Amino acid sequence: MARRPLIAGNWKMHKNHLEGVQLTQKLAWALSREDTDAVEVAVCPPFTALRSVGTLIDGDKLPIALGAQDCHPEAQGAYTGEISASMLAKLGVQYVIVGHSERRQYAGEDDELVNRKARAVLGADMRPIVCVGEVLEERESGRTAEVVQGQVRGSLAGLSGDQVAGLVVAYEPVWAIGTGRAATADDAQETIAVIRSTVADLVGQGAADELRIQYGGSVKSSNAEELATKPDVDGALVGGASLDADEFALIVTGSARRAR
Ligand code: PEP
């Protein structure tokens, strides 16, 4: 079954709204229609740039989806500094990253909270990008599959097959994020296949076959195409390299070549 890969740029805490607009304009110039027909492209700016980048995408009808990097699990309330899923939906946001390893590490997020956030995103008619991935010590002690299976089960707990089929999982080994040391395409494929079979166990093979599972962790134009040759890898979540429009566009082009 053909799944359309998703190449999403996670800008993290980079780019103010003016810089975000410039980067998106430059990216749109660098993308070809052929590429964006073959793969879906998204950018996930910081909250403060969502409105400006979203207005540009809408106004110029750019073939780029808008994503956010996080949200609060509650619909509203006395949560100073937080942003709800419905506030993001109102800005035209289509994807929301939940459970990124930087939030798991710096904000103490666990699978239960990631699950609540994923439900909030789905409840606001957007698609969560649910991040999972092992730390180096877990990989070196041979526990990658066990760790990732636990995160998938916890983060997707209680969701229906239809809900899971429409969301995105990003497999991001923590040791590969921002380090320049990406997983090999074979290692990414192996773990992503484990994720897909865990999802099949949870909600059935049909939903598992529809679910898109990205790889993330030091993706660049030099390794994107090889990753895209792997049958279970449905695109990439890209951090650092998404801040350079030309480099990000090359990642899209390489992935699109394999997806056509
Ligand atoms: C990320 O932030 O999700 C990520 C994968 O970062 P990088 O591409 O910089 O490793």
pLDDT single digits (tens) 28-41: 999 999 999 999 99
* Per-residue pLDDT, 1: 58
Average pLDDT taken over every residue of the chain: 97
| Predicted confidence (pLDDT) per residue in 156-180, tens digit | 999 999 999 999 999 999 999 999 9
pLDDT tens digits along 97-113? 999 999 999 999 999 99
What whole-number distance in Å separates Cα of residue 31 and Cα of residue 196?
30
Q: Which atom number of ligand 1 is nearest to the Cα of residue 219?
A: 8
**Beta carbons of 23 and 46 less than 8 angstroms apart:** no
pLDDT band per the 50, 70, 90 thresholds, residue 88:
very high
Measuring from each residue's beta carbon to the nearest atom of ligand 1, which residues come in under 6 Å? 10, 12, 172, 177-178, 216-219, 237-241
Instruction: Pick the atom of ligand 1 nearest to 236's CA.
Output: 5
Expressed in angstroms and rounded, the spacing between residue 243 Cα and the centre of ligand 1 is 11
pLDDT single digits (tens) 54-75: 999 999 999 999 999 999 999 9
Cα–Cα distance measured from residue 188 to residue 234, given in angstroms and rounded to the nearest whole number: 11
pTM as predicted: 0.97
